Amino acid sequence: MSAYWLLLPLFLPIIGGAALGIIKPHSRRVMEITVMTVTLLTSACVALILAVRPDGEAMILQLAESLSVKFFLDGSSCVFAGLVALLWPIASLYAIEYMETEDHRNTFFAYYTMTYGITLGIAFSANLMTMYMFYEMLTLVTIPLMMHGLKFKAVVATRKYVRYSLGGAAFAFIGFIAIVVFGETIDFRLGGVLADIAGKRTMLRIVYVMAVLGFGVKAAVFPFHGWLPSASVAPTPVTALLHAVAVVKAGAFAIIRITYYSFGTTFLRGSWAQYTVMGFAVFTMVYGSVKAVKEQHCKRRLAYSTVSNLSYILFAVTLMTEAGMTAAYAHILAHGLMKITLFYCIGAVNVKAHRHYVWEMDGMGRRMKTVFIVYTIAGLSLIGIPPMIGFVSKWYIGNAAVAQGTVYSYIGLAALILSALLTAAYILEVVVRAWLPGEQATAKVAVKLQDNSGEQVAETVSTENTEMQSAQATENASDVQSEGDEIRPVGWRMRLPLVLLATIVVAMGIWSGPVLRFLADVAAGLR
């Protein structure tokens, strides 16, 4: 099979999504069938390509002697593209039901479908220029999704996302230029491509740190994480896309590429640059978990959880060993599956029961059984309870840290354990409230509100029982609902994705051996 077959799954959703936005079918049924057909065909193409593994490169544009836009398939591409192709049809089916009462559905699904192809463009990029180009296209195509509905909070959050992304792009571009100037090629090669670096080591390590922080904006590294919790105002299919599948994983994937395939671990290992980026990752692990424990808005709590878990991946990457790379890819897969499941559970509660805060989850397990059974399964996996996939990936990260055996790796391991304990606190609070609600507990809850400038302010709301009445909050927190509100049933287009995702989370944990062996081969350069 020719490498040019890679262009089919890449451009099919881009063209299909653009056509959907231009034609704007008047029938809702036609729009839904079009979205699912394009998405399923794209995933089928990816599955075929991953099975056949075409050789060579697909060149589509030569800008200069050393600058080209081309695509290929290696082991790393298989990991990222496989995750995206697995989750996107499930995500699209869920989104169809979630968005059924929203306006401008054609526009929403046009950009949503196009994002699929652009994410695959990042996965299949054969060099740094191609990846950078599609990385920036990913920012542009997700802006309309975040601003969907054009509500004030969504516009403010989108502005923040754009400011952070543009700043990150500038830092990442510096790394791109350094590879162009000092690399033998801009193509991705396991082991790195730096050539004549005599007398330039310090400068290149500074550039590497800047590039990691630049790409780390999408990976939500502290202090560049602020856009991620703010993005929770977007519809849940968008926040799940940002927090679990496309945007944040693209950031982590890009950092893996520049670390292992551009700058090279031989050049970086043992240097201050390695320990600097590791320090950012270790701090973010704990910081994100602490913020998640304090946060009472369910989606923002999961957003801070994402901030923490992405740095699990980055910590594994910065170990700069084969075991670290294997563990990083294991957690990319695990976190993608777990977090999209958790977001979709909370999204179902948001749209069907109009509940958004932690205290509103009291007793919801009995009223939305399927949703909270799935939430419990995914939550236990995120904590790291065996035999779930979350335990497997964290175990591999811990083993990689111990194998390196440095003071810095042990500090990272301690942060990992502390973060896991905090994860148990913020996940189990929701689980216990859902299944074992208190009867006459007195609660004091910090309600996150938005003032007219879009900045968060806090107000303390007290109540004498668990039935929080919306009148106790201000009109700015109008999404707080009483426990007696009507709950609409979850339809099959939401229920089926939730059950499928929970099944995959459990199955991937129990039968993780083949996947982990494949990831180890990728890290060793055998795939």
DSSP 186: S
Contact criterion met (CB below 8 Å) for 292 and 304: yes
Token pair belonging to 29: 């049924």
Reported as a single tens digit per residue, the pLDDT across 327-339 is: 999 999 999 999 9
| pLDDT for res 164 | 94
Structure tokens at 117: 């192809």
Across 474-494, average pLDDT: 60
- Please tell me the predicted confidence (pLDDT) of residue 444: 37
Query: Any idea of the CA torsion for 226, 228, 229, 235, to the nearest 10 degrees?
Result: 150
Please check whether residue 344 is in contact with residue 381, taking contact to mean a CB–CB distance below 8 angstroms: no
Q: Which segments of 152-218 does DSSP mark as H helices, in order?
A: 152-182, 201-215
d(CA 245, CA 116): 10
Q: How far apart are CA 78 and CA 212, in angstroms?
A: 22
Q: What is the pLDDT of residues 52-102, one digit of tens each?
A: 998 889 999 998 888 999 999 999 999 999 999 999 999 999 999 998 888
**Nearest-angstrom CA–CA distance, 44 and 48:** 6
Q: Using alpha carbons, select from 121, 138, 140 the residue that is nearest to residue 7.
A: 121
Strand (E) or helix (H) holding 62? strand 58-62
What does the alpha-carbon distance between residue 265 and residue 263 come to, in Å, rounded to a whole number? 7
* pLDDT attached to residue 104: 83
| CA–CA gap between residue 366 and residue 511 (Å, rounded) | 31
Per-residue pLDDT, averaged over 442-466, amounts to: 37
pLDDT tens-digit map of 8-48: 999 999 999 999 888 887 788 889 999 999 999 999 999 99
| pLDDT digits 0-9 by tens, 465-482 | 333 333 333 333 333 333
pLDDT at 377 over 90: yes
pLDDT digits (tens, 9 = 90+) for 237-252: 888 877 788 899 999 9
Q: What does the pLDDT read at residue 485?
A: 57
Q: Which residues lie across from 448 on neighbouring strands?
A: 458
Q: Is residue 438 pLDDT above 80, yes or no?
A: no
To which H or E segment does residue 60 belong? strand 58-62
Residue-averaged pLDDT of the chain:
88
Q: Contact at 8 Å (CB) between 258 and 318?
A: no
pLDDT over 60 at 459, yes or no: no
Could you read off the pLDDT of 260-271 as tens digits, one per residue?
999 999 999 999
**Is pLDDT above 70 for 380?**
yes
Query: What value does the CA radius of gyration of the chain take, rounded to a whole number of Å?
Result: 22
What's the pLDDT tens digit per position in 332-358? Answer: 999 999 999 999 999 999 999 999 999
The answer to whether 468 and 480 are in contact (CB under 8 A) is yes
pLDDT digits (tens, 9 = 90+) for 168-184: 999 999 999 999 999 99
Model confidence over 100-137: pLDDT tens digits?
888 888 889 999 999 999 999 999 999 999 999 999 99
What CA–CA distance (Å, rounded) separates 294 from 286?
13
Break the chain into its structural domains and give their ranges.
288-438+492-527
The neighbouring-strand residues paired with 443 are 463
The Cα–Cα gap between 251 and 311 comes to 11
Name the packing angle between helices 247-256 and 322-353 (round to 10°).
170
**What is the DSSP secondary-structure string of 209-240?**
HHHHHHHTTTTT-TTS-THHHHGGGS-HHHHH
Specify the pLDDT at position 100.
Answer: 86
- In terms of Cα–Cα distance, which of 156, 149, 128 is closest to 66? 128
Separation between Cα atoms, residue 217 and residue 234, nearest integer Å: 19
Give, as one character, the DSSP assignment of residue 245.
I
Residues in CB range of 336: below 8 A, 6 or more apart: 83, 87, 244, 245, 249
Question: What's the predicted TM-score (pTM) here?
Answer: 0.89
pLDDT, greater one: 455 or 265: 265
Reported as half-sphere exposure (CB side, CA atoms, 13 A), residue 288 has a value of 33
SS3 58: strand
**pLDDT(440) > 50:** no
Handedness of CA 25, 31, 34, 35 (dihedral sign): positive
Residue 347 and residue 339: Cα distance in Å, rounded?
12
Query: Which pair of tokens denotes residue 66?
Result: 């050393």
- In terms of residues, how long is the chain? 527
How confident is residue 2, by pLDDT bands cut at 50, 70 and 90?
A: confident
Question: Which of the four pLDDT bands, split at 50, 70 and 90, describes residue 508?
Answer: very high
Can you give the pLDDT at residue 439?
55
The DSSP result for 113-152, as a single string, is HHHHHHHHHHHHB-BHHHHHHHHHHHHHHHHHHHTTT--H
pLDDT, tens only, 398-412: 999 999 999 999 999
pLDDT tier for residue 441 given thresholds of 50, 70 and 90: very low
- The average pLDDT across 371-391 equals 95
**Residue 478: how many CB atoms within 10 A of its CB?**
10
